[in-house]
Amino acid sequence: MLDCRRAHDVLSDSIDGVLPWWKRILLRVHLSICPGCARTDQSLRSCHGVVGSLRDMPPIIEDEDPPG
Amino acid sequence: MTLIATTSVPATEPASAPQGAVIDDAAIRQVEPVLMGFAYRAVRREDVARDLVQETYIAALEAKASFAGRSTLRTWMVGILSRKIIDFYRRTRREVLMDIPPEPDPLGTFAPATTRAPDARLDPALAMRVVEKSLGKLTELERMAVLLVDIEQMEREEAGNAMGVQPTHLRVLLHRGRHKLRKALEDAGLQAST
């Protein structure tokens, strides 16, 4: 069984499809019973989609603070 | 607000060349908008981005015989550019480029999403602007990892090779970068749409 921290740690791996099958199942079970982690997963995937949509877009230059 | 490239990035990337195909100056220059966009997003300075892209052209022309056509010309050149960018990071020494210890708490970004209801009206244009700006707030290596894997859609192994980092390091960089961007969208009131 995954706890919230361990589930959180593998959400990014889940997006890339690099989790072993047994960990995918554990994560799916956890997300089905934990609304907070399910929300994080949904939010992360939504963000991933937005980032991917920049692929064929020229960058937007706006005044910004120095990079971190 | 301005756009870095006066011409938009081609919707379709140049096709991968067959084995032994001639990669000439014209073919390489077709990828220019992609390279400029990538370089600007990575270094956040147009003058530096232009210099790095120029260096990439030269390196690509010198190494064109090694282009085997296993990847697209875009991917091949982005790989060359990535190494130029990493060299630039090293020269400017804004971030220590070394593998980080995997333990304890390797990812260290545990913070659940807010409990607000998802905004089903996620405005794509606004979300893209928030992400674009937030990319500049990632560390250099986090940004490179996100650019290569999430924007250029490289496999993790290929991205790690281009950056010269171990797979475990790349995994942590991706995790941190992605969650920082997610947090930025949440802070802007933009959450996952259902």
| ipTM, interface predicted TM-score of the complex | 0.90
Work out the average pLDDT over B78-92: 92
- Asked whether residue B63 carries a pLDDT value surpassing 90, the answer given is no
Q: Read off the pLDDT of residues B148-188 as tens digits, 9 standing for 90 and up.
A: 999 999 999 999 999 999 999 999 999 999 999 999 999 98
The shortest CB-CB distance from A46 to any of B36, B153, B193 is to B193
Q: Which residue of A has its CA nearest to B123?
A: A50
Sequence spans of domains, chain A? 4-43
Is the Cβ–Cβ distance between B72 and B13 less than 8 Å?
yes
To probe the interface with B, which of A11, A18, A34, A43 has the most B CB atoms within 10 Å? A43
Does B179 contact A44 at a Cβ distance shorter than 8 Å? yes
The region of weakest confidence among A30-44, A53-67, B35-49, B71-85 is A53-67
Query: Using CA atoms, how far apart are residues B70 and B67, in angstroms rounded to an integer?
Result: 8
Is the Cβ–Cβ distance between B159 and B86 less than 8 Å?
no
CA atoms within 13 A on the CB side of B161: 10
Q: Find chain B residues with C-beta within 8 A of A54's C-beta.
A: 41, 128, 131-132, 151
Q: Find chain A residues with C-beta within 8 A of B186's C-beta.
A: 43
- Which of B94, B187, B41, B162 minimizes the C-alpha distance to A56? B41
Which residue range(s) make up the domain with B162?
124-187
Pairwise pLDDT comparison (B16 vs B147), residue with the higher score: B147
Is the Cβ–Cβ distance between A2 and A26 less than 8 Å?
yes
Query: Using CA atoms, how far apart are residues B176 and B171, in angstroms rounded to an integer?
Result: 9
Q: Are residues B34 and B74 in the same domain?
A: yes
Q: Read off the pLDDT of residues B97-116 as tens digits, 9 standing for 90 and up.
A: 554 544 434 455 555 555 44
The SS3 of residue A40 is: helix
Q: Is residue B59 part of a domain?
A: yes
The shortest CB-CB distance from A40 to any of B112, B138, B143 is to B112
Q: Is residue B66 part of a domain?
A: yes
Q: Is residue B112 part of a domain?
A: no
Q: Which residue of B has its CA nearest to A34?
A: B112
Q: Is residue B8 part of a domain?
A: no
- The CATH number assigned to the domain holding B40 equals 1.10.1740
pLDDT at B22: 58
Q: Is residue B83 part of a domain?
A: yes
DSSP line for B36-75: HHHHHHHH--HHHHHHHHHHHHHHHHHTGGG--SSS-HHH
Q: Is residue B46 part of a domain?
A: yes
The total of structural domains in chain B comes to: 2
